[in-house]
């Protein structure tokens, strides 16, 4: 949840993911105290409340990491990430999916258990004035071996000086490996009919993010994301027996660091 919360009230979120970019509407995102360093980034953590597994009616807490690269200068090349709001921002996208056991719900009887999953990959955001667009592509390094991602857009406003609020649509997608892992139903199932889910768009939704800046370096960010399953995901007997609409909540603190990587 860009909750990317990457770039979240988790790019990020997305998302979220939810480790999405966190910016401001000023001309520069990088504070004067650190803008001349070779690298400037936001690092922090928080907690996420999300469905125990995709389409679950039960909710569980999970860790929420934050990382946003704000400025990067390399020898010869120069400024790779400038910190200007009209430039691209790169960030690592991260997400976890809770384990799913056949004992979690009666309708899962006969369906193989799914281990706790960790997904990582690249995320990118483009900011121009009060508008931001982002995209994430993650791969399951633990628990599943599929690709899953999210794209979205936000309108950003600052009702008061320390507070920034963003809101916009989201769309999630996944390949066949991911879809089969969480939405497919094998012949061994005893309560649900066999189902083969293909890759493609799996959900649409909305994300809301709010950030309160205590000073140039410390920020509190919270976010909520609504998701509705569509197409093959919505047609899955697992989703029909479980929940085709979800909410994800996240909150955490970030601290801005600046370092010199190279000597002049």
Structural domain boundaries, residue 169: 39-257
118 band by pLDDT with thresholds 50, 70 and 90: very high
Number of domains composing the chain: 1
What is the pLDDT, as a whole number, of residue 58?
93
State both tokens at 88: 């691209």
pLDDT per position as a tens digit, 165-186 = 999 999 999 999 999 999 999 9
Find, among 52, 47, 39, 41, the residue nearest to 8 by Cα. Answer: 47
Task: Select, from the ranges 13-22, 84-93, 116-125, the one with the highest average predicted confidence (pLDDT).
Answer: 116-125
67 band by pLDDT with thresholds 50, 70 and 90: confident
Find, among 72, 25, 64, the residue nearest to 43 by Cα. Answer: 64
Q: Is residue 182 part of a domain?
A: yes
Work out the average pLDDT over 192-219.
95
Query: Mapping DSSP to helix (H, G, I), strand (E, B) and coil, where does residue 99 land?
Result: coil
Q: Is residue 15 part of a domain?
A: no
* Measured distance CA(196)–CA(183) in Å, rounded: 8
154 band by pLDDT with thresholds 50, 70 and 90: very high
Q: Among 11-15, 152-156, 203-207, 256-260, whose mean pLDDT is lowest?
A: 11-15
- 124: CATH: 2.40.160
Q: Is residue 12 part of a domain?
A: no
Question: What is the model's pTM?
Answer: 0.78
Q: Is residue 170 part of a domain?
A: yes
Q: Is residue 75 part of a domain?
A: yes
State both tokens at 192: 């649900």
Q: The sheet that has 200-213: what strands, in order across it?
A: 78-81, 59-74, 39-51, 245-259, 218-229, 200-213, 163-174, 147-160, 131-142, 117-128, 88-97
pLDDT per position as a tens digit, 246-259 = 999 999 999 988 88
Residue 68 pLDDT more than 80? no
Q: Is residue 74 part of a domain?
A: yes
State both tokens at 108: 């899962």
Find, among 32, 27, 43, 41, the residue nearest to 221 by Cα. Answer: 43
What is the pLDDT, as a whole number, of residue 3?
38
Q: Is residue 103 part of a domain?
A: yes
101 band by pLDDT with thresholds 50, 70 and 90: very high
* 153 burial level (CB within 10 Å; 0-12, 13-18, 19+): middle
Q: Is residue 219 part of a domain?
A: yes
């Amino acid at each position: 949840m860009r909750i990317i919360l990457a770039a979240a009230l988790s790019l990020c979120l997305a998302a979220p993911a939810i480790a999405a970019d966190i910016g401001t509407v000023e001309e520069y995102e990088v504070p004067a105290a650190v803008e001349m360093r070779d690298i400037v980034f936001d690092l922090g953590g928080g907690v996420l409340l999300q469905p125990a597994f995709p389409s679950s009616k039960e909710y569980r807490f999970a860790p929420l990491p934050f990382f946003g690269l704000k400025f990067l200068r390399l020898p010869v090349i120069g400024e790779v990430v400038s910190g200007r709001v009209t430039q691209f921002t790169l960030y690592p996208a991260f997400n976890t999916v809770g384990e799913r056991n056949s004992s979690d719900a009666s309708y899962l009887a006969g369906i193989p258990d799914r281990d706790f999953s960790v997904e990582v990959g690249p995320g990118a955001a483009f900011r121009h004035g009060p508008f931001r667009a982002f995209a994430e592509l993650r791969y399951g390094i633990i628990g599943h071996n599929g690709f899953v991602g999210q794209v979205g857009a936000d309108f950003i406003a600052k009702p008061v000086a320390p507070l920034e609020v963003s809101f916009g649509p989201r769309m999630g997608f996944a390949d066949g490996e991911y879809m089969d892992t969480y939405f497919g139903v094998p012949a061994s199932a005893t309560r649900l009919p066999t189902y083969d889910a293909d890759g493609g768009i799996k959900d649409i939704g909305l994300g809301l993010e709010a950030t309160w800046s205590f000073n140039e370096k410390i920020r509190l960010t919270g976010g909520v994301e609504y998701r509705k399953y569509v197409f093959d995901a919505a047609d899955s007997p697992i989703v029909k027996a479980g929940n085709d609409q979800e909410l994800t909540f996240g909150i955490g603190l970030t601290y801005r660091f600046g370092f010199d990587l190279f000597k002049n």
